[in-house]
Amino acid sequence: MLLGSDIQNVLHPAGIQASRIGSLWNGYMVVLVTVYVVVVIWMLAAVWRAHRSTAPQVSDAEERPHSITVGVASALTLVTLIGLLIASVATGSAVGTYGDKRSDALEIDVTGHQWWWEVQYPDPEPDKSFKTANEIHVPLNTPVLLRLATRDVIHSLWIPNLNGKRDLIPGRVNKLWIQADRPGVFRSQCAEFCGLQHAHMALVVVAESNEKFQRWKTHQQTAANDPVTPQQLHGRSVFLSLPCVNCHAITGTDAYATIGPDLTHVASRPTLAAGELLNSKGNLGGWIVNAPAIKPGTAMPPNQVAANDLNDLLAYLENLK
Amino acid sequence: MTELALDAATLDHEHAQLAHTWAHAPGLLGWLSETDHKKIGLRYILTALCFFTAAGIEAAFMRLQLSRPENTLLNPDLYNQIFTMHGTTMMFLFAVPVMEGMAIYFVPLMVGTRNVAFPKLNAFGYFIYLAGGLFIYTMFALHAGPDAGWFSYVPLSGPQFDPGKRADTWAQMITFTEISALVVAIEISVTAFKQRAVGMSLNRIPLFVWSMIVISFMIIFAMPAVMVVSSFLCLDREVATNFFNRPEGGDPIYYQHMFWFFGHPEVYIIFIPALGYVSTILTTFTRRKIFGYPVMVASLVFTAFMAFGLWVHHMFATGLPQLGQSFFTAASMMIAIPTGAQIFCWIVTIWTGRLTIRTPLLYVLG
């Protein structure tokens, strides 16, 4: 494997857009390596010949045939370039407009934040619309239109296995088509320098069968699990009494702020803080108590929570599957 | 009309006066008031090499930091400053100034004149370049180095997301170094067009000088764009002009267009002198004049024109319309034609020459 990993790799396409780009890349590689080899051989032949020459040939008669050679070589360059250009434009057009005429397309809104990804699945019925963070689930063989926006600076979404990159620019909504044709988890990483934690702004795309996707989606559309045990019940009141509610939302409670990630199903996500931490109870606790120590610059403030309260809060959050 | 001075005493007197006029003044004041193009050219080259060394050390720190995951050698803030300083140094304080130094040193010699057209302006250009470089490194030492990348995209470098003086430092340095670049561009183009030796018609100018003329014109058109855009950035930051603030009718994309309208030609401002070097070295070590001189000159000029028509290929990820992208893809590719033509002419030059294989030629062949 060239880059050591299949889950974030342009050369292991998992979708029709990335395949087109991959084919274009391979085609360019073959043509341009050929041109390079021919020119280098030509140059070496010239060196070999001139090294044995006794006097330079500079008369008009001696130069004329070479003028024709240069002319022909330049013309061949032009023809090659036109070929490459047509291939490039055709690929760009196919990748850029894919799915414009498809009625079964799924639309997802992705909003960049310093430094995490907000992912919203809109629905005509407002209460079926839901938000998650740092993960996009898509069904196989379905065109997906990602609508890209940003809350702060410019970010760039690049899922190498699925498509080329597209910037998230203030005041604009950019569009990017993806379509996964094999199941898998593909990694993405912000591709436009966006400040202190640019390196810790990851996203995963989970491509799964339509059945699994529908199950996931239906679950995400439901309200948060109600606390059951006394510990979890107390945990919820801790959550609602702390500054958490200033930024986070949990459907079914009084927390509905939109500054930080939606926590309705936080326990169902594989990572915390945009791929910074695995989603474990210990990591979540550390994150709540002192997030800036883990991810300097993050908007998540440190929180003073009594040990018992923290334990109950974690029990509550861990239940939000 | 003065009489021709023929007697030995007058000649000696005039000789003494000339020697006095062209002599290097002694001491610090003499060093500061130096206007000899060879001295100034060497200062540019040596200063640029110092900055190059600094940039290399910064690059070494970056590689060390990246040598293992989650390394703690540099904190994120210092890392951002270091890579911004590295990029800024390489582009603004090394690559262009070192080429300018070569031009200031060699162009007057190659066109057969005693000094560049405006020697004092030339000295001014060097000192303002030095001032820009020292300024940004002083700020870096004071922990106020720029940290938004060598391109300083808004809004990351704007008032909301980059408080303090960091982006202002960057923008100010740009103004210093680009004034210096414009000074050199004026020097070189005027020197090459107005001070050539008798008999050196346009079709006899050495290709090295042609390459420097071409980049001088490119500098005159490209550098003002980045000076303007960095000044807009300062205005947005200092007096809330909102050039790039979307809610107030500005647009961050404007910044990118103006930056790359400079940024792409900059690539060729660095690249074209290298073409001049190759042509010069080849003709020396093949013991013949260059094959296809008119084609070579036309290729340089064509490359320079094309270089202004493909800045958008730095912005393909911003979601511009497909048709516009296709135009810039085509322009980006077509620049291979003049480059190809030059390579073919070089090969023919070798083919029909008599080689003396020495180190400079080995570099060219490599």
From the list A50, A70, A92, the residue facing B341 with the nearest CB is A70
Distance from the Cα of A256 to chain B's closest Cα (Å) equals: 25
Distance from the Cα of B106 to chain A's closest Cα (Å) equals: 27
Mean pLDDT in chain B? 92
Please tell me if residue A85 touches chain B, with a CB cutoff of 8 Å. Answer: yes
CB B344 within 8 A of CB A73: yes
A130-133 and A116-121 as β-strands: parallel, antiparallel, unpaired? Answer: antiparallel
Subunit contact A39:B246, Cβ cutoff 8 A = no
A83 pLDDT higher than 90 = yes
Q: Return the SS3 of A109.
A: strand
Per-residue pLDDT tens over the stretch B247-291 = 888 999 999 999 999 999 999 999 999 999 999 999 999 989 999
Q: How far is CA A132 from CA A121, A179, A218, A264, in A?
A: 8, 20, 13, 8
Structure tokens at A26: 């391979």
Residue B348: list chain A partners with CB under 8 A. 46, 63, 66, 69-70
Q: Return the SS3 of A132.
A: strand
Per-residue pLDDT tens over the stretch A95-142 = 888 877 788 899 999 999 999 999 999 999 988 999 999 999 999 999
Q: How far is CA B261 from CA B133, B140, B226, B249, B254, in A?
A: 23, 27, 8, 22, 11
Subunit contact A49:B351, Cβ cutoff 8 A = yes
Residue of B nearest to A158 (CA): B317
Question: What pLDDT is attached to residue B4?
Answer: 60
Residue of B nearest to A71 (CA): B341
Question: What pLDDT is attached to residue A1?
Answer: 36
Subunit contact B251:A167, Cβ cutoff 8 A = no
Subunit contact B330:A85, Cβ cutoff 8 A = yes
Residue of B nearest to A49 (CA): B351
Per-residue pLDDT tens over the stretch A248-305 = 999 989 999 999 999 999 999 999 999 889 999 999 999 999 999 999 999 999 999 9
Average pLDDT for residues B203-223, to the nearest whole number?
95
Which of B81, B287, B318 is most worth mutating to test chain A (most A CB atoms within 10 A of its CB)? Answer: B318
Structure tokens at A255: 């927390």
Please tell me if residue A167 touches chain B, with a CB cutoff of 8 Å. Answer: yes
Residue A96: list chain B partners with CB under 8 A. 322
pTM of the model: 0.90
B5 pLDDT higher than 70 = no
Structure tokens at A208: 């799964």
CB A101 within 8 A of CB A94: no
Per-residue pLDDT tens over the stretch B307-340 = 999 999 999 899 888 888 889 999 999 999 999 9
A214 pLDDT higher than 60 = yes
Angle at B268 between CA B263 and CA B274, to 5 degrees: 145
The backbone torsions φ and ψ at residue A157, rounded to the nearest 5 degrees and listed phi first, read -95, 125
A2 pLDDT higher than 80 = no
DSSP state of B91: I
Question: What pLDDT is attached to residue A10?
Answer: 86
Q: Which residue, A285, A225, A273, is CA-closest to A253?
A: A225
Per-residue pLDDT tens over the stretch A17-62 = 999 999 999 999 999 999 999 999 999 999 998 888 888 888 888 8
Subunit contact A92:B326, Cβ cutoff 8 A = yes
Which of A39, A40, A43 is most worth mutating to test chain B (most B CB atoms within 10 A of its CB)? Answer: A43
Average pLDDT for residues B34-50, to the nearest whole number?
95
Per-residue pLDDT tens over the stretch B132-152 = 999 999 999 999 999 999 999
Q: Which residue, A7, A19, A9, is CA-closest to A179?
A: A19
Residue B339 and residue A213: Cα distance in Å, rounded? Answer: 52
Mean pLDDT in chain A? 92
Q: How far is CA A261 from CA A272, A299, B111, B263, in A?
A: 10, 11, 67, 37
Residue A63: list chain B partners with CB under 8 A. 291, 348, 352
- Percent of chain B clearing pLDDT 70 (strictly above): 98
Residue of B nearest to A171 (CA): B246
**Which one is predicted more confidently, A52 or A86?**
A86
A11 pLDDT higher than 90 = no
Please tell me if residue A43 touches chain B, with a CB cutoff of 8 Å. Answer: yes
Pairs of residues, one from chain A and one from chain B, whose beta carbons lie less than 8 Å apart? 146
Distance from the Cα of B68 to chain A's closest Cα (Å) equals: 14
Distance from the Cα of A38 to chain B's closest Cα (Å) equals: 12
pLDDT classification of B3: cutoffs 50, 70, 90: low
| CA torsion, ordered A227, A232, A233, A238, to nearest 10 deg | -120
Residue A92: list chain B partners with CB under 8 A. 322, 325-326, 329
Q: How far is CA A274 from CA A132, A135, A165, A259, B159, in A?
A: 11, 9, 18, 15, 26
Residue B286: list chain A partners with CB under 8 A. 50, 56
Q: Which helix (H) or strand (E) holds A71?
A: helix A60-97
Average pLDDT for residues A146-157, to the nearest whole number?
96
Please tell me if residue A5 touches chain B, with a CB cutoff of 8 Å. Answer: no
Question: What pLDDT is attached to residue A104?
Answer: 83
Residue B148: list chain A partners with CB under 8 A. 193
Subunit contact A42:B336, Cβ cutoff 8 A = no
The backbone torsions φ and ψ at residue B172, rounded to the nearest 5 degrees and listed phi first, read -65, -40
Question: What pLDDT is attached to residue B6?
Answer: 67
B1 pLDDT higher than 70 = no
Q: Which helix (H) or strand (E) holds A116?
A: strand A116-121
DSSP state of A226: P
CB B319 within 8 A of CB A174: yes
Q: Return the SS3 of B69.
A: coil
Residue A262 and residue A269: Cα distance in Å, rounded? Answer: 11
Residue B287: list chain A partners with CB under 8 A. 56
Identify the burial level of B19 via C-beta atoms within 10 angstroms of its C-beta, where 0-12 means exposed, 13-18 middle and 19 or more buried: exposed
Residue B126 and residue B132: Cα distance in Å, rounded? Answer: 10
Question: What pLDDT is attached to residue A298?
Answer: 93
